[in-house]
């Protein structure tokens, strides 16, 4: 199994509070991704990174920001959480771009009340 961990695994927070989710990998893969999974929408890409300090938006990036200061860590921040951001968040990694196989972390279940 690819060495990917996510923290926290579960979080409940209130509307308007900031939240940061962490993804950590031990595979030294260049690309890292954040997805959200919602009923009826499947998995959708939020942001991705193609190297340290190199990031770009996915299809559902509004309300989210990311940072990558080290190869192994990719952070997803919700500056002011809203109820619409209640979801399961998955981190993924790949050794190259989209044509390369992606491996997924265990997920973080976030509830915004």
Query: From the CB of 4, what's the least distance to another protein, in Å?
Result: 10
Of 108, 22, 10, the C-alpha closest to 72 is 22
Nearer to another protein, 20 or 104 (CB): 104
What values do phi and psi take at 85, rounded to 5? -95, 5
Chain residues binding another protein by CB under 8 A are 33, 42-45, 48, 58-59, 88, 90, 98-104, 106-107, 109
The least distance separating another protein from the CB of residue 62, rounded to whole angstroms, comes to 16
Rounded CA gap, 92 and 4, in Å?
8
Q: Which is nearer to another protein, 56 or 79 (CB)?
A: 56
Minimum separation from the CB atom of position 107 to another protein (A): 5
At 6 the three-state DSSP class reads strand
Q: Which residues, 6 or more positions from 108, have their beta carbon under 8 angstroms from its beta carbon?
A: 6, 7, 8, 9, 10, 11, 21, 88, 89, 90
- Residue 83 CB, nearest distance to another protein (Å)? 21
Please say which residue, 33 or 74, places its beta carbon nearer to another protein: 33
């Amino acid at each position: 199994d690819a060495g990917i961990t996510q923290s926290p695994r579960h979080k409940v927070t209130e509307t308007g509070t900031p939240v940061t989710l962490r993804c950590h990998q031990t595979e030294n893969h260049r690309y890292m991704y954040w997805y959200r999974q919602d009923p009826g929408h499947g998995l959708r890409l939020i942001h991705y990174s193609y190297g340290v300090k190199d990031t770009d938006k996915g299809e559902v990036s509004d309300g989210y920001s990311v940072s990558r200061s080290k190869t192994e860590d990719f952070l997803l921040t919700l500056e002011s959480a809203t109820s619409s951001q209640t979801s399961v968040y998955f981190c993924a990694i790949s050794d190259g771009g989209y044509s390369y196989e992606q491996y997924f972390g265990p997920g973080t279940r976030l509830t915004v009340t």
